[in-house]
Amino acid sequence: MKLASLAVFLAGYLASQLAQPRSVLLPWQALGALKSPQGAVLYSLEPLKWTPSGEGTLHGFTILGHTTLDAKQARRAADEFWNANKQWDGNGSDCFEPRHALRIIFGGHTYDFLLCFHCHELDVYRDDRKFTEVGASGSPQALNELLQECHLPVSHSDDGK
């Protein structure tokens, strides 16, 4: 009887773990990029104008603007992306509507971090191929303020998150 109960519990636990599409924390390679954000480029994206590829897009999302950040700005932006992952509360959604992105060259690779606070997701691309997706939580306020300081437009489509 106890063995059957244990088997049912383990099957349920395994199914719940497999059903979660997002990892908990960033892989060490991506975290290394965020911890050494030299030559970082900040992007403002319009998530509701997705195209497969082309000029003026980043992984299919329309670029509203972008700028190379100085060392202090790069640290601020990288910290916000890392904090969003660290603070993930387990929530998620089926959408992905990133409004913020950060590109960092690290260890001979180009890492692109695309962040959607509304959907609780942070997607990471390494050398233009999707590397991982992890959970994210928090507020876009600090990144929106940085976009504005850099004179970049902020997406106000849909809910503006």
How many Å apart are CA 22 and CA 158, to the nearest integer?
Answer: 24
8, part of any domain:
no
131, part of any domain:
yes
Q: pLDDT over 70 for what percent of the chain?
A: 83
35, part of any domain:
yes
Residue 93, phi then psi, degrees to nearest 5: -150, 165
Is 81:113 a contact under the CB 8 Å cutoff? yes
Is 103:43 a contact under the CB 8 Å cutoff? yes
- What value does the mean pLDDT take over residues 68-81? 96
93, part of any domain:
yes
pLDDT score for 12 = 44
* Res 148 pLDDT > 90: yes
| Total-model pTM | 0.82
Select the more confidently predicted residue: 92 or 75.
75
Q: What is the extent of the structural domain holding 79?
A: 23-149
Q: pLDDT over 90 for what percent of the chain?
A: 68
- What value does the mean pLDDT take over residues 141-157? 94
- Tokens 């942070």 found at: 122
* Res 9 pLDDT > 50: no
Domain count, the chain: 1
Averaging pLDDT over each range in 2-6, 38-42, 130-134, which range is the top one? 130-134
* Res 98 pLDDT > 80: yes
The CATH number of the domain holding residue 120 is 3.30.1490
